[in-house]
Amino acid sequence: AQRVTQPEKLLSVFKGAPVELKCNYSYSGSPELFWYVQYSRQRLQLLLRHISRESIKGFTADLNKGETSFHLKKPFAQEEDSAMYYCALSEETSGSRLTFGEGTQLTVNP
Amino acid sequence: EAGVTQFPSHSVIEKGQTVTLRCDPISGHDNLYWYRRVMGKEIKFLLHFVKESKQDESGMPNNRFLAERTGGTYSTLKVQPAELEDSGVYFCASSQGVGTGNYGETQYFGPGTRLLVL
């Protein structure tokens, strides 16, 4: 079965510092990878998806099939980036349901 | 355009009671999903509707959970009888989809219902 691992439950950085939120997955097929974000008192929302190859709010994520990773990166963190970040996967044989990691709580300190 | 809505936002019940959660998807979205996050754990898939049909209910934990989507619009998730381990946040999501839903499609989440079973 597919699995998504986010090794860090908590991550704290200072404003302006680079940030990387790690995500590893186990699945042998061709998954679709996502990063979802939940800001304080807001609903879960899509941040970016690998197939779009876009940068949202300065964040990027590259799918590395060799390392089965989809780490989320931002070169200069901002205080408003503080939120809960979830890596998620969907794969063709199980329809469109999402498999989530446990999430990483990012805090960006002033 | 209104997003996915869920009712109630919070529910506190005693073990053995019944609770019904409601989800209204974005208008026109054929796909509706239920997920839940038990404290300290990851968000887990429960089931997936395509219109009024259950496409995938492999994540439903047991037969105390019953989900319906009559008419292919809103959905309800009933827990009867509730147990302590059912406590958590129940999320609903919807996506537009074509037919059985596209893997890789963006899902839009509701604010969740916080359920506490005492």
Task: Tell me the pLDDT tens digit for each residue of A30-79.
Answer: 788 999 999 999 999 999 988 777 778 999 998 888 899 999 999 999 99
The reported pLDDT for the residue numbered B98 is 62
B59 touches chain A (CB under 8 A): yes
Q: Which chain B residue shows the shortest CA-CA distance from A37?
A: B109
Q: CA–CA separation, A29 vs A17, rounded Å? A: 35
User: CB B42 to CB A102 under 8 A?
Assistant: yes
Question: Cα separation of B89 and B109, whole Å?
Answer: 12
Would you tell me how many other CB atoms lie within 10 Å of the CB of residue B102? 17
Task: Note the pLDDT of residue B82.
Answer: 96
- Which residue bears the tokens 């074509």? B98
d(CA A77, nearest CA chain B) in Å: 25
pLDDT per position as a tens digit, B101-116: 566 788 999 999 999 9
* Share of residues in chain B with pLDDT > 90 (%): 77
Q: Residue B29: pLDDT above 80?
A: yes
Q: How far apart are CA B8 and CA B22, in angstroms?
A: 7
Provide, as residue numbers in chain B, all residues whose Cβ is less than 8 Å from the Cβ of A100: 35, 42-44
Cβ-based interface (< 8 Å): residues of A facing B = 4, 32, 36, 43-46, 49, 51, 86, 90-92, 94-103
Cβ–Cβ under 8 Å, residues B118 and A52: no
- pLDDT of A54 reads 77
CA distance B31 to B16: 31
Whether residue B36 is predicted with pLDDT greater than 90 in this model: the reply is yes
With a pLDDT cut of 70, the percent of chain B lying above it is 94
Would you say B45 and B59 are in contact if contact means Cβ atoms under 8 Å apart?
yes
Q: What mean pLDDT, rounded, does chain A reach?
A: 91
- Answer whether A43 sits within 8 Å of B111, measured CB to CB: yes
- Between CA A25 and CA B78 the distance in angstroms is 32
Integer Cα distance of A17 and A110 in angstroms: 10
Q: What does the H/E/C string look like for A11-71?
A: EEEECCCCEEECCEEECCCCCEEEEEEECCCCCCEEEEEHHHCCCECCEEECCECCCCECC
DSSP B18: -
Closest to A102 (Cβ–Cβ): which among B41, B56, B107?
B41
Q: How many CB pairs under 8 A join A and B?
A: 67
